Structure 1
Amino acid sequence: MEPESPYAYCARPCQWAAGVSRYGRPYTQTGVRLAVGRSQDKPGRSGVYRLLGRLWLREVDAPLLEQLSDGVLGEAFVAAGGVSPSLVTGETVESLAVDYCQLFLGPSGHFPPYQSVWEAGQFEGEAANSVREFAEVVGYDPAEVLPGGMVDHLGVQLDLMGHLLSGGVDAEDSADAEDNIIDEVSDAFYSAHLTWPDTLLSATRERAKTAFYRSMLTLTGEFLDTEAPAGRP
């Protein structure tokens, strides 16, 4: 069996109760709950970031699509504005994979979901260096979700924020001190690395061929809007 290539990675108020890991495998416990907005609990926000990160990092597979099409997670995904196929077949999965690849992987006319590309017109710019610095501070390894890939991929950034909100910063003092540090670091990361996708989202919504990916793009934009730190327009 050939190893998977790293480049096979070809909101509205609601609640998401989850069963999906960032690798597309079922969780054994519920953990992703969303009442979209920064007032909700950090574990819930973390879970949403990680689910969105998974959807950006690689094409959806059959097990994940089945979870997004049925049960508690499926109901919540639809309530949030997501659109899932009513029947999951090999043909369905293949058509979604084709849409993902033509949107983000190419070979031409695609939209690389990398911050450096959209801000500086190049790969591996200053944004990538900044993500690496944040990742080192919070003990996050981008290679776990995108082996060999460029770290300013939007999916990596979303997953990193999920890691951070789940307790990726340790404080030697009280739990309140740790909570405050997480708030400060997450606000800094958001301002540096999650304010850029608007143009990408608009462009890809126009090009997406499937309702699933159009809804995923809209959901990403709406969720990021609710996550803006206080005082940011």
Structure 2
Amino acid sequence: MTTQPIRTEPFSEEIARAELYGLLARLWLAPPDAALLQQFKVAVTEAPEPGGYLEAPWQALVAAMRETTVEAAALEFAALFQGVGKPEVFAYASYFLAGFMNEKPLAQLRSDLAALGLTRDETQLETEDHIAYVFEVMRYLIAGDDAGVSNLEQQRRFFRNHVQTWVDQLCDAVNEQPAAHLWRSIAVMTKAFVVVEAQAFDLLEA
């Protein structure tokens, strides 16, 4: 996505949320490269919240990232998301919400993105309803510089309309695939994070 700058203020819970959305977006978009795997080996060792709901799935993801290799991850990603003809798993909202690619959910998403002043990076192949791009929008709505756009109400609205409606189904689809190993851990972490986010917005609406 083409967005405005991201804030670089000192660490906070909100920045941690934004960074987790960014990490998950990266993992759903492409297999990890050597640099990312190295980061998990030497730096990413603590759960986002010790003893919290995300601790076990986070530790499982860290373990899976440390066990894989660039080559193994690339092969798994291709087997799941890049099959010849029809991939095993479609990581797009339109597929899960409408049953086909490039359907009404994508059009609605594009309309909502335009209202936020966000546009698609034309150099990217994936459409805006790919999970990676949806998560990147959430990252921006949390940590972007424009308070008129990057605020809690916009986060809540976008999450309810474009994340909560389908991401669980995607994660379940990945979990059902025999070829999924690393991405099973990514899916479990993603699903747990969506639960935490949904509960937080429930409290906001109470």
| Fold conserved between structures, TM > 0.5 | yes
Q: Report the Cα distance in structure 2 between the residues aligned to 1:85 and 1:43, rounded to whole angstroms.
A: 23
The match for 2:95 is 117
Of the three residues 170, 173, 179, the one matched with 1:200 is 170
Q: Write the letter of the residue equivalent to 1:198.
A: D
Query: Is the deviation greater in 162-171 or in 182-191?
Result: 162-171
Q: Write the letter of the residue equivalent to 1:197.
A: V
Are the structure 2 counterparts of residues 136 and 169 from structure 1 closer, same or farther at C-alpha, using a change threshold of 3 Å? farther
The match for 1:22 is none
Query: Is the deviation greater in 62-71 or in 128-137?
Result: 128-137
Of the three residues 106, 113, 122, the one matched with 1:135 is 113
Query: Is the deviation greater in 161-170 or in 42-51?
Result: 161-170
The match for 1:227 is 197
User: Per residue, is there more helix in 1 or in 2?
Assistant: 2
Cα deviation, 1:73-107, whole Å, max 9, x if unaligned, reads 2444886231235467xxx2111111112112212
The match for 1:175 is none
* Unmatched tracts of structure 2, length 5 or more: 1-7, 49-54
The alignment partner of 1:97 has SS state of: helix
The alignment partner of 1:143 has SS state of: coil
* Unmatched tracts of structure 1, length 5 or more: 1-28, 34-39, 172-177
Of the three residues 168, 177, 184, the one matched with 1:214 is 184
Higher relative contact order (CA 8 A, sep 6+): 2
Of the three residues 53, 60, 70, the one matched with 2:42 is 70
Contact persistence 2:25–2:133 (CA under 8 A):
yes
Q: Write the letter of the residue equivalent to 2:38.
A: E
Contact persistence 2:24–2:190 (CA under 8 A):
yes
Give the CA deviation at 1:119. Answer: 0.9
Q: Write the letter of the residue equivalent to 2:110.
A: R
Are the structure 2 counterparts of residues 104 and 227 from structure 1 closer, same or farther at C-alpha, using a change threshold of 3 Å? same
Of the three residues 105, 112, 126, the one matched with 1:149 is 126
Q: TM-score, normalised on structure 2?
A: 0.77
Q: Report the Cα distance in structure 1 between the residues aligned to 2:101 and 2:65, rounded to whole angstroms.
A: 34
Cα RMSD for the two superposed structures: 2.8
Cα deviation, 1:139-187, whole Å, max 9, x if unaligned, reads 334327x71321100110011100111136433xxxxxx7xx7111111
Contact persistence 1:105–1:112 (CA under 8 A):
no
Q: Write the letter of the residue equivalent to 1:220.
A: T
Give the CA deviation at 1:125. Answer: 1.5
